[in-house]
Structure formats: structure tokens, C-alpha cells
């Protein structure tokens, strides 16, 4: 039974190698995006982290900052 699943009527090598390649590619992509997100979030927090209330409102009103703030802490 297990052999039949792994061999898949002779197509097992192709199917499992394609599945493995896809899994590795998606994992690598996720890791790269996560690292870039953390870098950009840290840059944003270091730039806008300690603002007075007026500058904080200006930062919140910008569209790109709204996207960043949607998943981050409040200023």
C-alpha cells in the first residue's frame, strides 16, 4: 500500500520531486518576506517610534503607514 502511494504507477518520482520543490520554494519565499517585513517594521518604528501627537497623526494618515500600522503596535 505505501509502495503504491510512493510509486504512483511510475509517476511517483516526478510527483514527489515537484511537491518537494514547491514546498521548499514556498518556505524560502515565506522566510525572505518575513525577514524583509521585520526589517521594514523596525525602520518604521525607529523613525516614527517616539513622535509627539501631532506628528504621529500625520504619520497615521499616510496610506503606506496605515498598511504598516495595521499589523503593528500603535505609535
> 1 or 38: which carries more pLDDT confidence?
38
Give the DSSP letter string of 33-65. HHHHHHHHHHHHHHHHTT--HHHHHHHHHSHHH
Confidence of residue 50 (pLDDT cuts 50, 70, 90): low
Residue 30's H or E segment, with its range, is helix 12-48
15-47 tens-digit pLDDT: 999 999 999 999 999 999 999 999 998 888 887
Confidence of residue 73 (pLDDT cuts 50, 70, 90): low
What's the pLDDT score for residue 23? Answer: 98
What's the pLDDT score for residue 31? Answer: 98
Give the whole-angstrom CA distance, residue 73 versus residue 56.
13
Give the whole-angstrom CA distance, residue 27 versus residue 29.
5
Amino acid at each position: 500500500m505505501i509502495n503504491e502511494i510512493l510509486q504512483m504507477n511510475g509517476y511517483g518520482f516526478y510527483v514527489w520531486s515537484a511537491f518537494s520543490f514547491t514546498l521548499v520554494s514556498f518556505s524560502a519565499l515565506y522566510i525572505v518576506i518575513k525577514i524583509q517585513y521585520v526589517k521594514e517594521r523596525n525602520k518604521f518604528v525607529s523613525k516614527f517610534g517616539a513622535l509627539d501627537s501631532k506628528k504621529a497623526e500625520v504619520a497615521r494618515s499616510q496610506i503606506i503607514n496605515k498598511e504598516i500600522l495595521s499589523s503593528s503596535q500603535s505609535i
